[in-house]
Structure 1
Amino acid sequence: MSACIITFNEADRIGDCLASLAFCDEVVVIDSHSTDATRQIAAAAGARVIERAFDGFRSQKAFAVAQAQHDWVLCLDADERVSPALLEAIRAEQARGFPEAAGYRFSRLSEYFGRFLRHGNAYPDRVLRLFDRRRGGWRGTREIHEAASVDGVVRTLPGDLIHYPYRSLEQQLSKTQRYARMMAEDDFARGKRATLAMLVLAPAWRFWRGYVLRLGFLDGWHGLVYAYVRANYVRQKTIMLWMLQNGRPVQG
């Protein structure tokens, strides 16, 4: 089994990610010309490091999968780690030869400024990351919020993929604004359009669904802040789409 990771300036996080993948037969790291020690740390840990200019999240991950030496691949981001429970589940399936499945999904548990979020829109956040590349992969054309898919049965494994998505609130806000622009541009190119009702209701619904209906309030103030920031992401994306369809620029 091969592990595939894409990186850019992840020197502070790549070591822990790689340590959690020690059970894999090989680790492939596709690095987008980092200016820190990411490549050196990865190589020292035994990973095969390839430099490649970044041309989109989906494309970069698809390239990583294509470089793997094994058909079964486990795809992670540098801010993710395989938990002991998930490791046990993966190894059990591997020992059985991954029977009757084209891929496996599992829950992603995100740390948010000192607390793991176990409710709301943050959890269980199931992702398909372990799959037979002969039967699928990072397909489609959308480069943002990319997702793998396979032709065949997808099973759910116990255990969590541990996620450390944000170094600071400022970094989160900057990241969500960039993603909002990319999503708005993608939606616009696909012919999607915003309405005045969406401008008002979409952010409110995202907050209500996550914080109230999905019990985000049980995560304390961390859940409240997370729900607000995610609602703001929807607001930014919808406003940017509105601007684009009215011929206005969204960035200078």
Structure 2
Amino acid sequence: MTASSTPEIQLDQISMRYQTNSTEVLALQDVTVDIKKGEFVSLLGPSGCGKTTLLRIMADLIQPTNGEIKVAGESARAARLAQKYGIVFQSPVLYDWRRVKQNINLPLEMMGIKKAEREERVDYLLELVGLQDFKNKYPWQLSGGMQQRVAIARALAMEPEILLMDEPFSALDEFTREHLNEELLSIWSKVGSTVVFVTHSIPESIFLSDRVFVLSPHPGRLSAVVDIPLPRPRTPDMRHSPAFYQLISDIRDCFEGV
């Protein structure tokens, strides 16, 4: 899949301050980035550097202290109200009393989509994430990786232009995580959404992304933008290539002295 040169998300001088009981905390400082339509980018950095805060600002879940954000030329609020976002959190946040297909169906129900259209869409999404045989299971009957696939399917139910993902695989074992990285890229190649993916894993960011935005430790500043020239589709053996190891080294160097 090839990203368009048109910016889908534009962040201009974004800063975020929090007021605690005793002091003011600067979480983000003057972050400026452009993300192209159809691009897969990662926000990479150590814990506490403001990655999730930046993602929540993009989603219009919180408002920055300073700076401006545009989504397809509109405000983040307008994009949210137009349902241009799908969001996948670190925890799947599924309803245990609803079966898999009912969890995926929920946003379609809330929007009043007709039953026949809902069923067709849910069947497509179940196939997309490889859970056709588990549609009548409850979340507690699934593995952690399968639960996250349900969460991804639900986030895609309204066919969002932008998929925001906040460390969705961080709680999984390495084998499952790598497998889901491959599945996510397969899904992305079919749906064509712009993806912003938060992670603190350098190899994960390299394997998934077109570009990696490296955030410095607290307060979060954009310390580097790293292009990932690995060809697509990405394959598991790329993780063992000299080019992959060189990219790991290059990104590690971005954290030196910050």
Which has the bigger relative contact order, CA under 8 A and spacing at least 6? 2
TM-score, structure 2 normalization = 0.26
